[in-house]
């Protein structure tokens, strides 16, 4: 199983062609998000907590959308392996219908009852007030985000990851500039604070969607589907999508709810604790871009191979990615520890928040190899191979049977410092990895989902 040919130039060439643009896109996103957090942090720790908790709700929606689109990407990558463009466009229609519907529901709740949502996370009235202002404005971008996801995920699944990367870079640069202008008041604009950050996000997402649609349809790319082509969805395809994709949607939905429960537990410790976690998560996301690049590259390459009926190649790729990921994680963990003090020095925070954030980052560095392996396992191997039910079982059992109980036991029963609660919760990554390794070795995950009658 571990007889790996590390001199396979074709593998590394194909992997880097997909992984690098996705990793760079996520790096740009994470870096500018960190800049945004620093900007908001200039307003105060309450503002960091307010925006962080409001974005936790957006995070919940994004992960549901990620589930919808990841389930569809299984089909897209395998159809691309068969050179079946017509069905790729039909899958895009499924993504638009389900993803658009989900985004509208989330947006309606956020616009009409933002304070009710935020009371789930905290009892701090000032945090709720500021977060409500942010949430009501940013909710107007949710449908735009859903449509953009459809095109970006489809492009990635057919190996064209550079365009989403470039457009994301332009959009996020726009977001950062607008943040500076609207948060602090520049170029004659009023100082809007947290509401300015929300408006900047809305405008930048509109720019992102406009750019991707103009380029895709202007250049008549493979994903330039007409509405009629996308909505011509045969019943057998929709049923197969539900069979394969529903576990992915449930996986992301309940996993994100689990992450939300973690946030609720951290917020119950103190406003300073949730601010520390928000900062640490923002920093960690910069280091995790490699994991998302590798995971998505794994998903595309395995899916293409399975669709082309090259099962042995798919198995070989799965093993290579499963070994490569943790090795990269060791290096990233070391870099995170060494740079944590310098990075945190850019934030205008109290000594307590600085101390907590530093030790949360140390904890994240320790577990990052397990986290990267699990990203590749879930997104790259199990889902691309169509083994979505097992993926659902392993994710939810680790989060809900271990992680969530540990979060509340640590925070509310044992009353531990927030960094120890994060450490307890992170142990679920170790459990998940030990369950996942035998599944990869067994090859039971390899299934062709597009050959159905």
Q: Which of 5-14, 52-61, 105-114, 255-264 has the lowest mean pLDDT?
A: 5-14
User: What does the alpha-carbon distance between residue 122 and residue 271 come to, in Å, rounded to a whole number?
Assistant: 8
Q: How far is Cα 447 from Cα 384, in angstroms, rounded to an integer?
A: 9
Question: Please, which pLDDT band fits residue 162 given cuts at 50, 70 and 90?
Answer: confident
pLDDT recorded at residue 452: 53
Residue 453 has pLDDT above 50, yes or no: no
> What value does the mean pLDDT take over residues 78-97?
88
Q: Among 31-40, 107-116, 226-235, which stretch is predicted with the lowest mean pLDDT?
A: 31-40
Q: Which residue has the higher pLDDT, 27 or 194?
A: 194
Q: Is the pLDDT of residue 223 over 70?
A: yes
- Give burial (CB, 10 Å; 0-12/13-18/19+) of 366: middle
Task: Determine contact, residues 404/412, Cβ cutoff 8 Å.
Answer: no
Per-range mean pLDDT, top range of 36-45, 47-56, 140-149? 140-149
pLDDT at 47: 80
Q: How far apart are CA 1 and CA 176, in angstroms?
A: 46
Which DSSP category does 139 fall into? G
pLDDT over 90 at 215, yes or no: yes
Q: What is the pLDDT of residue 425?
A: 93
Tens digit of each residue's pLDDT (9 = 90 or more) over 231-254: 989 888 888 888 888 888 888 778
0.75 exceeded by the pTM? no
Q: Give the three-state DSSP class for 189.
A: coil
Say whether pLDDT at 1 is over 50.
Answer: no
Q: What percent of the chain has pLDDT over 90?
A: 26
Name which of 24-33, 92-101, 291-300, 426-435 the model is least confident about. 24-33
In this prediction, residues 413-418 reach a mean pLDDT of: 92
Angle formed by the axes of helices 9-41 and 271-287, nearest 10°: 150
Q: Which range among 164-168, 371-375, 413-417 shows the weakest confidence by mean pLDDT?
A: 164-168
pLDDT computed for residue 434 by the predictor:
92
The DSSP string of 14-59 is HHHHHHHHHHHHHHHHHHHHHHHHHHHHTT-HHHHHHHHHHHHHHH
Tokens of 90: 């039909």
pLDDT at residue 212, rounded to an integer? 92
31 band by pLDDT with thresholds 50, 70 and 90: low
Q: How far apart are CA 55 and CA 141, in angstroms?
A: 12
Residues 84/447, Cβ–Cβ less than 8 Å: no
pLDDT of 13 reads 81
Report pLDDT digits (tens) over 334-371: 999 999 888 888 777 788 889 999 999 999 999 999 99
**Cβ-based neighbour number of residue 319 at 10 Å:** 16
Section 36-64 average pLDDT: 77
pLDDT at residue 428 greater than cutoff 90: yes
- Helix pair angle (194-218, 162-184), 10° resolution: 150
Mean of the per-residue pLDDT values for the chain?
85
Q: Identify the pLDDT of residue 335.
A: 92
Mean pLDDT lowest among 256-265, 288-297, 372-381: 288-297
């Amino acid at each position: 199983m571990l007889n790996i040919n590390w001199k396979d130039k074709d593998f590394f060439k194909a992997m880097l062609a997909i992984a690098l643009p996705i990793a760079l896109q996520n790096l740009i996103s994470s870096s500018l998000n960190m800049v945004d957090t620093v900007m908001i942090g200039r307003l105060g720790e309450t503002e960091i907590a307010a925006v962080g908790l409001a974005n936790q709700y957006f995070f919940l929606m994004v992960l549901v959308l990620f589930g919808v689109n990841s389930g569809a990407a299984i089909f897209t990558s395998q159809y691309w392996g068969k050179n079946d463009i017509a069905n790729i466009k039909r899958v895009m229609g499924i993504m638009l219908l389900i993803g658009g519907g989900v985004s509208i529901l989330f947006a309606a709740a956020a616009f009409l009852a933002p304070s009710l949502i935020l009371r789930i996370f905290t009892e701090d009235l000032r945090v709720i007030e500021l977060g409500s202002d942010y949430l009501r404005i940013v909710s107007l971008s949710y449908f735009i985000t859903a449509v953009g996801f459809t095109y970006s995920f489809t492009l990635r699944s057919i190996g064209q990851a550079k365009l989403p990367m470039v457009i994301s870079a332009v959009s996020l640069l726009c977001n950062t500039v607008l943040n500076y202008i609207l948060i602090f008041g520049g170029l004659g604009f009023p100082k809007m604070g947290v509401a300015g950050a929300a408006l900047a996000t809305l405008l930048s997402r509109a720019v992102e969607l406009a750019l991707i649609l103009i380029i895709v349809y202007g250049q008549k790319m493979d994903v330039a589907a007409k509405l009629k082509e996308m909505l011509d969805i045969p019943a057998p395809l929709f049923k197969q999508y539900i069979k394969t994709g529903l576990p992915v949607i449930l996986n992301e939905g309940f996993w994100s709810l689990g992450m939300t429960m973690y946030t609720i537990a951290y917020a119950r410790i103190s406003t300073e604790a949730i601010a520390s976690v928000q900062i640490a998560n923002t920093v960690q996301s910069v280091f995790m871009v490699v994991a998302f690049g590798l995971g998505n590259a794994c998903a595309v390459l395995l899916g293409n191979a399975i669709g082309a009926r090259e099962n042995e190649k798919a198995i070989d790729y799965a093993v290579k990615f499963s070994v490569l990921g943790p090795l990269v994680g060791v290096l990233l963990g070391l870099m995170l520890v060494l740079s944590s003090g310098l990075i945190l020095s850019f934030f205008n925070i109290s000594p307590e928040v600085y101390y907590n954030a530093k030790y949360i980052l140390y904890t994240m560095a320790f577990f990052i190899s397990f986290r990267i392996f699990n990203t590749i396992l879930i997104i790259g191997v199990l889902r691309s191979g169509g083994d979505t039910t097992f993926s659902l079982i392993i994710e939810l059992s680790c989060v809900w049977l271990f992680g969530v109980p540990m979060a509340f036991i640590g925070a509310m029963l044992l009353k531990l410092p927030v960094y120890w609660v994060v450490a307890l919760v992170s142990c679920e990554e170790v459990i998940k990895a030990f369950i996942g390794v035998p599944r990869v070795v067994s090859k039971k995950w390899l299934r062709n989902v597009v050959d159905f009658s």
